[in-house]
Structure 1
Amino acid sequence: MPGVPDPRRSAGQGLAAPARLRWLVAELVCRRTESRTARTLVFDVPGWPGHLAGQHVDVRLTAEDGYSTQRSYSLASAPDGDRVELTVQRVPDGEVSPYLMDTLEPGDRVELRGPVGGWFVWRPEQSEPVLLVAGGSGLVPLMSMVRVRGAVGGRAPFRLLYSVREPDDQLYVPELRRGAPGLDTAYVYTRRAPPQHPRAVGRLRADDLVRPGWSAQSRPTCYVCGPTGFVESAASLLTGLGHDPDRIRTERFGPSGG
């Protein structure tokens, strides 16, 4: 998540980090490029308690002079012992994301606190169909759900609708290209589409949610993540198609200073 989670994302669901959570030292193991503006950072976090797909963490940086700042980022990985993966997207003129992407080197350390959040999560015991709707880097927590499902051999049918400005902005390209059993993926391009893409360029529409999605009669759980405007539009389209509002879970990006 490229910024602080918006407190409006799940009103009334207790979004603040529980007081019992403590800061843990995280050492960068490696990093890999996901797109022209995003990287995945892989950390070893001794004492990591594990997490659920869809949760996020707070990241704290502290300078030698004592100045400290923190941001929240979604967890991208399935649980894997003490190892944690975050995908960070560069925020223009940001304070934290350029440091994490360009300056932090393997062996360097930061502090993590988490996991945080209990509403926007997918649990392996869920068996109902799932519709994932991602706007830009809103794919990150949804990718954690896809990976957890794969790791546990989950049979719940998943469908992913991924909206990005243009192909160069896509995350996890090789992984999504390989596909996963039971995962259907469709793309919406809002600025520039690849050659022969069957859909015209433009914003998300109701028919985008019908073609790759589940009908309201299938009673899927819908997870929608992305910038606030995208999330509000997608949630409104889903309710307009007859989906139960109680089965639509949303996560929004708020301003953070990057």
Structure 2
Amino acid sequence: MIDAHQHIWQLGEHDCCWPTPDLVAIYRNFGVEDVLPLARFAGVTGSVLVQSQESDADTDYLLAVAEQSDFVKAVVGWVDLASESASARIAHLAGHPKLRGLRPMLQSLPDDDWILRPELEPAIAAMKGHKLSFDALVYTRHLPHLEQFARRHPDLPIVIDHAAKPAVIATDRPADDWRNAIASIARLPNVHCKISGLPAESGKDQGQAELAPYIQYLLTVFGAERLMWGSDWPVIGLAPNKQLTIYKNWLNLVQHALTGCKLGEIESVFIGTSLRFYRIA
């Protein structure tokens, strides 16, 4: 199995300014050596490291770690896509054998439609030229803008992180605005989605019964061939339901939600889609 979404960081190093001290559960250093026992116990044999800082130094750090780790199969880094030097930076990063994609942190930007700005086009062209993918860290409100972006760039592989962070805690069933926006963008063949991050969006008393409908809806609209599972470790430690802060418990929940799927569909969600999307040999 491939874990399509993991993070590592060293507080105060490589421009690391998040997590902040108030996030007690994850306010410490995390490295690949910390997740390896958890992943191996769960049957996970490889991971995709994803940036957590808006920093070139953080991306360089992730790539250096990946170079020394057989477990890390791919890296999703960060580039200031609005910078005049973005294209040159992308060309440089693309020379690293494990750099597979980039992720601007759209969720925290002041303009929900930032990704549609014309000054980003040279960087996006560079991404496509170097065959890099685009991880979209968004909330539901960003999805219409992301859909417009995806239509503008049908040859750019895009994956929605954490299923666009639906407000699971606010309702007992998937809200209509999330369902409609997800269904609309899922019609675009270049858009994929990660089954990740949902524990952190749910309440302390929510679990299998509340999260399974989200997973099953994603399967309905995207199909298994465009879905991939990710732990979001160690951010999963912020889940209000302490049972879902446990790596294997989250994996087990997703596996249970997919009960009844064909073997080929299950293989796609847990390994095939990640291998194809991130071009992992």
Q: TM-score range by the shorter chain?
A: 0.3 to 0.5
Question: TM-score, normalising length from structure 1?
Answer: 0.34
- Identify, as 1 or 2, the structure richer in strand: 1
TM-score normalized by the length of structure 2: 0.32
Return the structure number with greater relative CO, CA threshold 8 A, min gap 6: 1
